[in-house]
A and B are shown apart, each in its own frame.
Chain A
Amino acid sequence: MSDTPVTYVRKEMLGQKAPPTSEVGPVRWVRENLFSSPMNAILTILSLYVVYVVVSHVGPWLVNGIWDADSLTECREIIAATGDGHHSAACFGVISARWHQLVFGYYPSELYWRPVLALVVFLVGIAPVMFPSLPRKLYIVTMAAPLLCFWLLWGGSIWLPIAIALGFAVGVVAHKLLDTHVSSLAAIIGAIVLPLIYWLYICGPLAGGLASIIPLGIEFVPSRSFGGFMLSIVIGLSAIVISLPLGILLALARRSDLFIIKTCAVVFIEVIRGIPLIVWLFTAQLLLNYFLPPGSSFDLTLRVIIMVTLFAAAYIAEVIRGGLAALPKGQYEGADSLGLNYWQSMQLIVLPQALKISIPGIVNTFIGLFKDTTLVVFIGLFDPLGIASAIRATTEWNGIYWELFLFIGIMFFISCFSMGRYSLYLEKKLQREHR
C-alpha cells in the first residue's frame, strides 16, 4: 500500500448537528398538531379566527372594565366620556359596590368575621380527614367543628351548642353503662334513644336555664340574613358532610340481608331519587308549612339543608353501592374467614376499598350538589343568583347582567374545580394496584 493518505476517509467524528428546524421544537409541534393535513390546516385557521373574534370582543370589554361607578347610569356616562361611542366596557362597579352581598348576603357587615372564622374552623377541622399526614391531635377540632361553626354562623347563646354536645356525651355514657351491665343490644338502643330523648325534652330547657343563669353569647343572626355564596356554602357543606356517612349507611343497608332494613333503604333511596330536587325544596318550603301550626317558624334554611342532605344521601348511597358491588367476592369471604364480625369486616376490609373505587363518583355528586344549591332561589332564598336579581331590582343597577353572572361563575368554578383537583389527588395517593 502506498503512503499516500486516503483523503476521502474521515478520521475524526463529525460533531452532532442540530436537527432540521422543521423536526424539532415549536415548528415541529405546530406542523404535527395544527397543520398535519390540509383539512387540519383549514380547521386550525378557522379555529384561530373564532378565537380572535371572541377575544377581540370580550378582551377590550374586560380590560376596559370600570370599577368605580355607583350606578349603571354613571358607568355608561364614564364609557361615553372616554370612548368614541362604539367601544364597549364591562361595568364591574356593581361588583365593587355589592361584592359583600354576593358573598355574605345580608349578614350584618360588622359580623363578617364570624362566617369567615367558621370557614377557617371547618377547613382546620376537615384537614386531618383529607390529609392523613397531619397530626392526629387536629381531630379534636374536627369533633368540635360542626357545633362551633353552627354557633359562629347563627350566634346566640353559647349554651345551646354546649347542651347539644352534651347529648353525645349522654349517648357515650349510656352505651358504656348498658354494655357492661345489661347487654350490647341494649347498649346500642340506649345510645340512640337516650340522646334523642335528651335532645327533644331536656336540651332546650337546659340551654335556656343555663343562659338565664350565665348569659354568655354573641349576637343572634337569623337565617334570613344568610345569602350569597355564604348560603350556598353553608347548605352545600352541611349537606356534603352529613350525607356521606348517611349515604354509607344507606348503601350498607341496601345490601343487607335483613329484610326490613333493606326494604326501608330501597324505598328511601328510590323515592328521594325519583323526584326532582326542586320538588323536594318546594315540599320543604310549602308543604311543611301546612303541617306546622301557623306562627311556628321552623327555620327555612334548616328545612332546606335537611332536604338537600337527604337528597344527596340517596345519590351517595347508590355511588357507594356501586363501589361495594365492584369489590370481588373474595374480599368479603376473606374478611369472614379471618373471623371478623360484620362491622369489623366492613370497617377494615370492605369499605376502605369500596370508598376508594367510589371517589370520582362521590366527588362528582358533591360538585353537582354544590351547584344545585342555586335552586333555592325558587323558594325565595337569596343564593348568589337570587342576590344578583335583587341587585338588579335596585334603581342603580337595573339592567346589568353579564358582570354579575361572570363573577358568580368564577366563584363557582373555583369551588368546584378545587373539589375536582382534590379528588384527583386522593385517587393518585390511594392508588395501590400498580405499585
Chain B
Amino acid sequence: MKKTVFFGALTAAGLAAGMASAATLDDVKARGSLNCGVTTGLVGFAAPNAEGEWEGFDVGVCRAVAAAIFGDPTAVEFVPTTGQTRFTALASGEIDLLARNTTWTMSRDVDLKFEFVGVNYYDGQGFLVPKALGVTSATELDGATVCIQTGTTTELNLADYFRVNGITYEPVPIETNAEGQQQYLAGACDVYTTDASGLAATRATFENPNDHVLLPEIISKEPLGPLVRHGDNEWGDIARWTLNALITAEELGVTSENIEELAATPGNNPEVNRLLGTEGELGAMLGLEADWAKNAIMAGGNYGELFDNNIGESTSIALARGLNAQWTDGGLLYSPPFR
C-alpha cells in the first residue's frame, strides 16, 4: 500500500538520508534493475520506438551499464526527465544514472554535487542557414535574425561569439527545438543555432535538406556525458569504466560480432583478455562479474557500433565521427588503459 510506504518513509527519512547514497550498487542489485534518466525524446539519442522500447545513443549507455551489472541489457527502467527535473531526479535518488546529453560544466560537477563519469559525445554549438542566403561563414552573419532557445547555454555562447567578432544579431526567442524548426522553416529567422548534433538531426527532417547548410564554425564546447551523484565513488567507477570499456573495445577492435570468439579463450592481446575477463581480476575490483565488460559491449556493441547504429552516417541523422573519433584517428576519445 502506497500510504504505508509514504508515512513509513517520512519517519525513516532522517535516518536514511545520510547513508542511503552510500551503496548504490547494492540498491540497484536489490531492485533488480537500473533506474536510468534519459530525455523525454531527442532524435538519435533517446526515444521510445513504436513498441515502446527505448532506443538511442544515450539509451545505449544505460543498457551497457545494466548489462555490466546484471548481464541483461533490458534490466533498465528508463525515467524520462526534462531539463528542469533531471538534476533533482538524480540528486534525490529517483535515478541512479543520468544519461541525458548533459553538458559537463564546472558548476554542475562541483556546485550541484554530481560526478561526470566521462564524455560520450563531444558536441558544440553550430549554425544552420538556408543555402539561398549565400553565407559560408558565421562571421558573415552581421545583422541576421537568429532563432535561439531561451535560458540555455547556447544563448550565452551566441552573445559571447557575436560580441567577440564585433557583429550584431537579432534574437528570435523560442522555447523548444520543435518550435525552432517550425520558426526557421517559416522564415521567422535567418539562422537557427543549437548543438550541432541537434542541427544535423533537424536538417535531416526537412523536406529538402540540401537547401540548408551547417556553417563550419563551432562556437562552444559541449562535452555531453553520463553523470552520477557525488559520494558513491564505487558506483561512479562502474559507470565510468563501462563507458571506457565501450571506447576501449572499439580501439582494440572488439565488436559485438567477434566478442564471443575473443572471450571464449585468452588470446594474444593481453589488454583484450583483461577487458573481457579472461585474464586478471578487473571485474572483481568493481564488484562485478569477470565478464562485465563483455556483457556491456554485447548490449549494443562497442562505442563505434553504438554511434553508427544511432546517429552515424548510415542513419538519417548522418553525423560524422569528427571529434568523436578514437584518438588514434584524430578524435578526442581516449580511454585510460585497462590494466
Contact = CB atoms under 8 A, between A and B. Distances in A.
Contacts of B47: 390, 393-394
Which interface class (under 10, 10 to 19, 20 to 34, 35 or more) fits A? Answer: 35 or more
B9 A395 contact: no
Given A203-B1, A393-B43, 10 more contacts: A160-B1, A222-B77, A302-B2, A379-B85, A380-B82, A390-B48, A393-B41, A394-B41, A398-B201, A399-B202
A107 to B, nearest CB: 8
Nearest to A107: B52
A27 interface: no
Nearest to A208: B1
Main secondary structure on chain A at its contact with chain B?
helix
Contacts of B154: none
Contacts of A59: none
A398 B205 contact: yes
Interface string A398-427: 110100000000000000000000000000
A294 interface: yes
15 contacts: A106-B52, A160-B1, A163-B1, A285-B88, A294-B92, A295-B27, A377-B40, A378-B84, A386-B80, A392-B178, A393-B42, A393-B47, A394-B55, A395-B315, A398-B201
A164 interface: yes
B204 A293 contact: no
Given A282-B84, A285-B85, A299-B2, A291 B10 contact: yes
A224 B44 CA distance: 22
Interface stretch (B13-21, B111-119, B137-145, B213-221): B13-21
Contacts of B39: 393
Contacts of A73: 316
A343 interface: no
Interface in A193-247: 199-201, 203-204, 207, 222, 224-225
A8 interface: no
A380 B40 contact: yes
Contacts of A2: none
Nearest to A101: B52
A101, A282, A295: residue with the most chain B Cβ atoms closer than 10 Å: A295
Q: Max chain B CB contacts within 10 Å: which of A97, A390, A391? A: A390
Interface in B73-121: 77-82, 84-85, 88-89, 92-94
A294 B43 contact: no
Interface of B: 1-7, 9-10, 12-13, 15-17, 20-21, 27, 39-44, 46-52, 55, 77-82, 84-85, 88-89, 92-94, 176, 178, 181-182, 201-202, 204-207, 315-317
Given A224-B79, A379-B85, A390-B47, A294 B93 contact: yes
A379 B82 contact: yes
B5 A296 contact: yes
Contact of B207 (A76, A203, A224, A294): A76
Contacts of A394: 41, 43, 47-49, 55
B94 A199 contact: no
Interface in A96-144: 97-98, 101, 105-106, 109
Interface in A278-322: 282, 285-286, 289-299, 302
A401 B55 CA distance: 21
A72 interface: yes
Contact of B93 (A295, A379, A399): A295
A200 B2 CA distance: 9
A213 to B, nearest CB: 18
A90 B45 CA distance: 27
Contacts of B77: 222, 224
A291 B13 contact: yes
Nearest to A296: B9
Contact of A164 (B1, B15, B79, B206): B1
Nearest to A196: B3
A382 interface: yes
